[in-house]
Chains A and B, each alone.
Chain A
């Protein structure tokens, strides 16, 4: 069966510090991978998606970046965090034609 991992689960970072969140998927190959951010009480905002190694599409201009160094690894980064980067970050995968998304446990980021 497929499993998706995210770490860390929670993170508190000062403004201006760097960020690296990692997501890995097990039990599937060639997944489409997604990074979302969810502000409190809001829906999911798509940040990046990837259909393959090294292929990244950005949905929202921001100070975040994403990379996909391996088929089942997706990394979200920032060089300098802003207060507005606080939120619940979710990685998701999908494959095939159904487009149903399976989410990781998420990382709750607080920027102080």
Chain B
């Protein structure tokens, strides 16, 4: 079992819809959870991080964390074609090292 698992996709949604990206992790000692966006050929850039159970909203993005289920998700509301990218989930232990999932490719169709 991978330490961090994501559906590889591709996930395709129409413009204006909600895109839902999911991630599960195996280490119950994980402390911090991050979502990065990576455009093709570019380096990842941080979208959001979350530490506590529940929801965290930032503009069109909402991160959700459920530590009991070892599950973290990212919702993108009013999806735009510019949101088309690969989304990487990363999990960090208190030792400070991050483990990344393989990413979910999102395509938003105009």
Which A residues contact B (CB, under 8 angstroms)?
32, 36, 41-44, 46, 49, 59, 90, 94, 98-106, 108
Contacts and interface: CB of A to CB of B under 8 A. Distances in A.
Contacts of B96: 32, 94, 99
B49 A98 contact: yes
Grouping DSSP codes into helix (H, G, I), strand (E, B) and loop, the B interface class, with mixed when no group exceeds half, is strand
Interface of B: 4, 8, 32, 34, 41-46, 49, 88, 90, 92, 96-103
B49 A100 contact: yes
Contact of B43 (A41, A49, A98, A104): A104
Contacts of A90: 43-44
Contacts of B8: 41
25 contacts: A32-B96, A36-B100, A42-B102, A43-B4, A43-B101, A44-B90, A44-B100, A46-B98, A46-B99, A59-B97, A90-B44, A98-B49, A99-B32, A99-B34, A99-B96, A100-B34, A100-B46, A100-B49, A101-B34, A101-B46, A103-B43, A103-B44, A105-B42, A106-B42, A106-B43
Contacts of B34: 99-101
A94 B49 CA distance: 14
A99 B102 contact: no
Contacts of A41: 8, 102
